[in-house]
Structure 1
């Protein structure tokens, strides 16, 4: 099962479960606000994104583990910022049955968001 991850606020994930689909692109942006895709990461990219986008966040975060084979919306690997690293982007709502696990994501003892290993997802 190929998996990608999405960093989510716990309350937004809970709201999505009630609504029937997840529509948050990234912090402060949704598909309903005009965002064209949902940002996702491979395990080795999660801490990079978290420490850049969520550095000042104090509320609980979670990682949505997404089985790309279950996605209804298209997923594309893209380097839209020209940084030499591509990220998976989900072009449309995230169907809930593609989320095969939800894991708490907590800061490490050093105050930074920790690295995620592929083995940790197994």
Structure 2
């Protein structure tokens, strides 16, 4: 399955250098959140508008092949008052699992 994650270009570059992407969402680490927020193809544009509209630094859209992750991906709501589910990645994302990168 393919899922998507919006990242800063700087965070993606750091992940390529270190061998692991560990940013959960804007300004929050995997360690802090417990998982990395992701979206399905029909969700990422809404996520971008809601949470990244005011970001001025370069952003990239990471296309992730879940078969290459080696960690669990769970579809669940991001909060108690939300019914829509999103894929959550429960571990670091190895750069080899990122099969596409698009500048936003």
Deviation at 1:63, TM superposition (A): 0.6
CA distance in 1, matches of 2:15, 2:67: 20
Query: Aligned to 1:50, which of 40, 48, 51?
Result: 48
Unaligned runs of 5+ in 2: none
The reply to whether residue 96 of structure 1 matches residue 74 of structure 2 is no
TM-score, with structure 1 as normaliser: 0.80
Alignment of 1:100-111 (within 5 A): 100-105=99-104
Equivalence for 2:16: 17
Deviations along 1:14-61, whole A, 9 cap, x unmatched?
0110011000000000124x2200000011101111111112111111
TM-score, with structure 2 as normaliser: 0.93
Query: Aligned to 1:80, which of 55, 78, 88?
Result: 78
State the aligned residue count: 103
CA distance in 1, matches of 2:29, 2:57: 19
CA distance in 2, matches of 1:51, 1:66: 20
CA distance in 2, matches of 1:35, 1:44: 23
